[in-house]
Amino acid sequence: MSRERKLLELKERQDKAKLGGGEKAIEKQHQRGKLTARERVTLLLDENSFEEIDMFRTHTSTNFGMEDKKVFGDGIITGYGTIHGRAVFVYSFDFTVFGGSLSQVVAEKVVKVQEMAAKIGAPIIGINDSGGARIQEGVDALSGYTSIFLRNVLYSGVVPQISAVVGPAAGGAVYSPALTDFIFMVRNSSFMFLTGPKIVKTVTHEDVTADELGGADMHATKSGITHFTYDDEHSLFEGIRELVKYLPQNNMEEPLLQPNDDPVDRIDEELNYIVPENANKAYDMKDVVLKILDNGQFMEVQKAYAPNIVIGFGTLNGRTVGVVANQPKHLAGVLDSNSSVKAARFIRFCDAFNIPLITFEDVPGFMPGTMQEFNGIIRHGAKMLYAYAEATVPKLTVITRKAYGGAFCVMNSKQLRGDFTFAWPSAEVAVMGPEGASEIIFSKEIQTADDPQAKLDEKIKEYRDKFANPYVAAGRGIIDEVIEPKFTRYKLIKALELLKTKRDDNPPKKHGNIPL
């Protein structure tokens, strides 16, 4: 064969591979309102940065006449490229080929990029749109899934792992995304469930649509499985690019310093007036967070799930920080099972990837009641406690108002190795709120009083005057500094600068036993 012919053959093969399941299947994919695997990779990565690996691999199955149905790439595109100039690995399931189902070869392609990402120390992003295990391959597909799961686990905390679910993810296809750090879903075309509506109907007799059972909004609000939800795939891939900006390449690096034009000593007078004088009135903690971070930029994670706690990424003088903030606007910022688990997982991610934690605290305590106790709030609250305690990254706290009881201990207190705790003059740090405390310790006096309500009010005032302030705690060194709210940004940035060289360790062990 002549050199020219050989070059032509390569080009022909490449063109064929790029068509995946063929033009008709691509048209059908578009009709379903979905992009193709290649269009997705193009949107995700920097322009012209994608380099494909294993383009010509084909499956090896001979069951059900499969030997005559081979497609270059076998239903997945794998390779590497850059996001904001930094290397990332990517795999993108191609629904136009056997419904993006997972064959042994598909699994081997995924494992290859997983291993390269870990060896090189670069994030890996999986784009999922798949009918699950390739039915014609039986147990080979199952083994394939399992080998992917193993790498998800081994490289957890080594390189950031991100999943886009932009089509069906049923059965085994859900567990790889579930093991990764962040899941992105899109409304109307993403579905994640272990068993689909038909099996649900047979087993539990429930009538439920695919969207109700595993759509993006369900996972964003009820299960908390998805971290980011978008209306269309274009915004979803923009979202992943934004997230990657905040992350380091791997656990041995720090996130890249972002250019910052927001003055370090910017004062925001409004912060002095943001906490209402009436301690029972709500305010939006996100307003506080936005006023303090660089240019008011905050990428909120799990926005619609357990909104009584707010988590997300921002920068302070260009350095990535992970924010954990009680939200007085929802359930008065109380800690319950869901908010505890939400925060615990985020704290552990930040700690694994050298991202300092900033905690904004206004918490009346843990949620009482049978619902929470039956649900295991003790175990779930302990997860958050565990996460803060084991974290060795710089840890700063700003107490804006309430810091009561167990919730005070849990929310990055000094005794959990919090580095600096700042309190605003509106802070109330005590074992419990004035109402509950007065009813317990002054119960006899109240019961025997001529006017019990007046006595209770008097005792509440007495307790509030004594404890509902930051100065008792500041007098014990539990708070490092009481600050004027308008200086919070400057104080946090200064502390972060100082803590750049912080070194802290945990005792040697195989691994801890977080109360799962």
Task: Give the one residue of 79, 81, 172, 314 binding ligand HXC; rule: CB under 6 A.
Answer: 172
Indicate whether 101 belongs to the interface with ligand HXC (CB under 6 A): yes
Phi and psi of 32, rounded to 5°?
Answer: -75, 0
Residue among 145 and 230 whose Cβ is closer to ligand HXC: 145
- Cβ burial of 516 (10 Å; 0-12, 13-18, 19+) is exposed
Residue among 32 and 84 whose Cβ is closer to ligand HXC: 32
The residue count for binding ligand HXC (CB under 6 A) is 16
The radius of gyration of the chain from alpha carbons, rounded to an integer in Å, stands at 26
- Smallest gap from residue 513 Cβ to ligand HXC (A): 25
171 is catalytic: yes
> Considering only 168-176, 250-258, 334-342, 407-415, which stretch makes contact with ligand HXC by CB under 6 A?
168-176
- Smallest gap from residue 17 Cβ to ligand HXC (A): 18
Residue among 82 and 195 whose Cβ is closer to ligand HXC: 195
What mask, x for binding ligand HXC by CB under 6 A, covers residues 117 to 156? --------------xxxxx------x--x-----------
What the block records as the tokens of 89 is 């690995």
Residue among 172 and 434 whose Cβ is closer to ligand HXC: 172
Indicate whether 197 belongs to the interface with ligand HXC (CB under 6 A): no
- Smallest gap from residue 133 Cβ to ligand HXC (A): 4
**What's the sign of the alpha-carbon dihedral 148, 153, 157, 162?**
positive
407 is catalytic: yes
**Residue 184 to residue 261: CA distance in whole angstroms:** 30
Indicate whether 99 belongs to the interface with ligand HXC (CB under 6 A): yes
Task: Give the one residue of 171, 322, 405, 418 binding ligand HXC; rule: CB under 6 A.
Answer: 171
The answer to whether the beta carbons of residues 357 and 314 sit under 8 Å apart is no
The answer to whether the beta carbons of residues 354 and 394 sit under 8 Å apart is no
Of 121, 157, 318, 406, catalytic: 406
Residue among 142 and 409 whose Cβ is closer to ligand HXC: 142
- Smallest gap from residue 30 Cβ to ligand HXC (A): 13
**Residue 370 to residue 372: CA distance in whole angstroms:** 5
Q: How many helices (H) and strands (E) does the chain have?
A: 20, 16
The answer to whether the beta carbons of residues 359 and 384 sit under 8 Å apart is no
Task: Give the one residue of 20, 168, 197, 328 binding ligand HXC; rule: CB under 6 A.
Answer: 168
Q: Which residues, in sequence order, are CB contacts of 454 under 8 Å at separation 6+? A: none
> Considering only 172-180, 326-334, 390-398, 434-442, which stretch makes contact with ligand HXC by CB under 6 A?
172-180
Place of tokens 């994670």: 301
406 is catalytic: yes
Place of tokens 């991100």: 162
Indicate whether 104 belongs to the interface with ligand HXC (CB under 6 A): no
Indicate whether 160 belongs to the interface with ligand HXC (CB under 6 A): no
Distances (CA, A) of 324 to 180, 307, 415, 420: 20, 12, 18, 15
The answer to whether the beta carbons of residues 363 and 411 sit under 8 Å apart is yes
**Residue 265 to residue 255: CA distance in whole angstroms:** 23
**Residue 40 to residue 25: CA distance in whole angstroms:** 16
- Smallest gap from residue 101 Cβ to ligand HXC (A): 4
Of 169, 403, 407, 423, catalytic: 407
Task: Give the one residue of 76, 170, 220, 429 binding ligand HXC; rule: CB under 6 A.
Answer: 170
**Residue 502 to residue 65: CA distance in whole angstroms:** 62
**Residue 83 to residue 117: CA distance in whole angstroms:** 14
Residue among 65 and 477 whose Cβ is closer to ligand HXC: 65
Residues recognised as catalytic: 171-172, 406-407
By the criterion CB under 6 A, which residues form the site for ligand HXC? 98-99, 101, 131-135, 142, 145, 168, 170-173, 175
